[in-house]
Amino acid sequence: MAKAELAACWAAVDLPAAQDLIETIETPRLQSQALVMVARALAPVSPDKALALAQEVPAGPQRAYLIAGAAAAMPEGFGSTAQALANAALQMLGDATGEAADRTRADIAAALAWNDAERAISVADNIREIAEKNKALCIVGDRLAKTEPRRALAILSAVDDPMLTEPVLTRLAGILAATDVEEALATSRMILSGRLRVQALVAIGVALRARQGGG
């Protein structure tokens, strides 16, 4: 798989070179795996290119994996597009299980979170591997933080992993402070990391000053 890994490394900076390298792989199965690796490497930086490559992969769990990765990378302003892609990926994934299927569902949940929180949570809850499920729930919570901070808090309460929850709690504390300082302070007290708790308290202070008209 050395060529596939090298192609994935090149993908974001020189896609044609990565594609040329894939063409030198003689075994069709390995060539297909390399294409999947390249498309996944592209998804966070160029979801449109990743989607184009996904069309070269046979319909099924592998294509769902690529489409979900591209959908998850889309920002909030493209929530409707992300939702449509996530729904297509979910249908294509079917009842597939295993590590790749869990990652696909995690990406689908992240993509759905912008526009359909209920479905995002439902998809995340169906992830079998607990660490992947926790990551997915925290991403959903983070994406809901600005518009539905209390719902985000409820989602995080189901995750027992401070490394994942505390960065989101820090952000939530600053958001909540704009409307409810006591709740924001209560949120900051959930944070065990001294550095992150200080960040949360600073954000609360800034929000409180803004509320009081102090700039």
For the stretch 71-110, pLDDT in tens is 998 888 888 999 999 999 999 999 999 999 999 999 999 9
* 58 inside domain: no
* 202 inside domain: yes
The residue that leads in pLDDT, 184 or 14, is 184
> With left for phi above 0 and alpha for psi between -120 and 50, is residue 96 left, alpha or beta?
beta
The whole-number pLDDT of residue 196 equals 97
* 64 inside domain: no
The residue that leads in pLDDT, 10 or 152, is 152
The whole-number pLDDT of residue 122 equals 96
H and E: helices and strands count for the chain: 13, 0
* 92 inside domain: no
* 15 inside domain: no
Query: Is residue 58 classed as helix, strand or coil in its secondary structure?
Result: coil
Overall domain count for the chain: 1
The whole-number pLDDT of residue 108 equals 97
Question: Which amino acid appears at position 135 of this protein?
Answer: K
Closest CA to 74 of 65, 83, 61: 83
- Gap between the Cα atoms of 177 and 100, Å rounded: 39
* 131 inside domain: no
* 132 inside domain: no
Name the residue range of residue 189's domain: 161-215
Average pLDDT of the chain, as a whole number:
90
* 175 inside domain: yes
The residue that leads in pLDDT, 68 or 3, is 68
The structure tokens listed for 75 are 């920002």
The whole-number pLDDT of residue 214 equals 56
The whole-number pLDDT of residue 44 equals 81
